[in-house]
Amino acid sequence: MPVSLSGQFRAQGRQALAGLQAWARDANSKAPGSFRVLHYDDCSDLASVREVTRRLIVDDRVDILIGPYSSVLTSAAAEVAESHGKLLWNQGGASDKVYEQGYRWTVGILTPASRYLTGLLPLVRQTDPCADSVALLRVSTGEFPRAVCSGVEATAPEFGFNTVMQAEFPASAVDFSEVLEKLSTWKPDVVVVVGRVSNDLRLARRLVESDINAGVVVAVAAGIQEFQDDLGNLADRFVGPSQWEPEDACTPDCGPSTEEVIASFQRDGHRHVDYPMAQAYAAGIVVQRCLEEAGSADSEGLREAVSKLEFTTFYGRFKINGETGRQIGRETLLVQWQRGRKVIVWPPQAAQAGLIYPWR
C-alpha cells in the first residue's frame, strides 16, 4: 500500500494504514500468516506515489495492491498499476475520473465523488420547501472537488434549485474575504464547501464569524472528527458527507460486524473511527472475499471474480460496474454536528434526526 504518512494527506493516510493493519491482524487470527501489510510513505506527492507503486509491483511483487488515500494520488497509482496489468483496489480515491480512463485494473470500494452529496438537496427540500439557491465553493485544483460540485450542480434543477454562485480558491488560501463578500451578495440557501481539510476548516471558521445567513452549510471535511476537534462548538450545525458511520450498522453477509470492527480499532487505542480507517478495513474484507472466489491472487482471476460478486460488509453493500470497476452498490451518508455530536441526517432509513437544524 502506498500511504501518506507525511504531507497534506497524512491524517487520512495514517488512518487508512491503521484500518488495513487492523484487518490483516484480524484475518490472521483465523488463518495465521495469511497476510502481511507492506507499505511505503508516498509523502502525499505524485512523483513519490508513482515510484512507490512501481516499487511494490515490480520490486516487491506484492500479491495485492491497495490504493492510497486521495483522488489525485489514486489516479497516479492507477496509471502505474494499469501499465503493469496489476489490479489496484481503490479504497481512498473517490474521484470519478479514474473510472473514465478506460482502465481495466482498478476496482472501487468507495461511492464516487459525483454522488457524495446525492442526498443533500432532497434533504434541504424536506427541511425547507422554499429554499431554491445553491452556492458552490471549491479549491481550484484536484479532481475530487470538481466532481463533488458537478454532482450537486447536475441534480439542482431536479429539486428546484438554481446554482447562483460558483467560486474557486487556491489550496494555499488563508483569506476568504472575496468569497464571503460574494456570499453576502447572493445570500444562497445552501452553501457547499469542497477544499482540502485546511481550507474547509479556515473557511468554516470565517463563515461562523461572519454575518452571512444560510439555511444549510456543507463542508466535506465536516464528515471527520478533525473538523470538530479543530473548531470545537463552532462545528455545530455544519453538514458533511461520510462514507461510513458506526451508527449506520448493517448486517454483513461477509466479514465481521460493525461492533467487532469497532472493538478491533479500540484495541489499538483509537477512540474515534472516521471513514478513512473503516474503508481501508473494508477493502481488506473485499479482497479476502474475492480471493476465496478466484482461488488465487492472479489479477485476471480477481478482476473476473469481483465483477460478478455482490455482497454486504459492515461498510455496506459492495457491487461494481463490471466494465469500469466503479462502485455502484452504495451511497454516502450525510451527517451534521449537533451539540458536539456527529448525527446522521440522511438517508431517511439511517437518520438519527428527523430534520437538520438550520445553520443560521
pLDDT on residue 355: 65
Where along the chain do its domains lie? 2-111+248-318, 115-242+333-346
Give the domain 115-242+333-346 fold. Answer: Rossmann fold (3.40.50)
**In whole angstroms, how far apart are CA 202 and each of 117, 140, 224, 229?**
21, 16, 15, 13
pLDDT on residue 354: 61
pLDDT on residue 67: 98
User: Is the pTM value of this prediction over 0.85?
Assistant: yes
3-state secondary structure 283-313: HHHHHHHHHHHHCCCCHHHHHHHHHHCCEEE
Sign of CA dihedral 244, 254, 67, 324: negative
Q: Which parts of the chain fold into alpha helices (H)? A: 10-30, 46-54, 71-84, 120-127, 143-155, 177-186, 197-209, 225-231, 258-267, 275-294, 299-308
Residue 165 CA, chain-centre distance (Å), reads 25
Q: Distance between CA 237 and CA 208 in Å, rounded?
A: 10
Give the domain 2-111+248-318 fold. Answer: Rossmann fold (3.40.50)
pLDDT on residue 202: 95
Q: Distance between CA 39 and CA 50 in Å, rounded?
A: 13
Instruction: Give the CA-trace dihedral at 133, 355, 258, 115, to 10 degrees.
Output: -20
Asked if the domains 2-111+248-318 and 115-242+333-346 are classified in one and the same CATH topology, the answer is: yes
What single DSSP character describes residue 111?
P
pLDDT by 10s per residue, the chain, length 360:
999 999 989 989 999 999 999 999 999 999 998 999 999 999 999 999 999 999 999 999 999 999 999 999 999 999 999 999 999 999 999 999 999 999 999 999 999 999 999 999 999 998 899 999 999 999 998 889 999 999 999 999 999 999 999 999 999 998 999 999 999 999 999 999 999 999 999 999 999 999 888 999 999 999 999 999 999 999 999 999 999 998 887 889 999 999 999 999 999 998 888 889 999 999 999 999 999 999 999 999 999 999 999 999 999 999 999 999 999 999 899 999 999 999 999 998 888 766 678 877
pLDDT on residue 239: 97
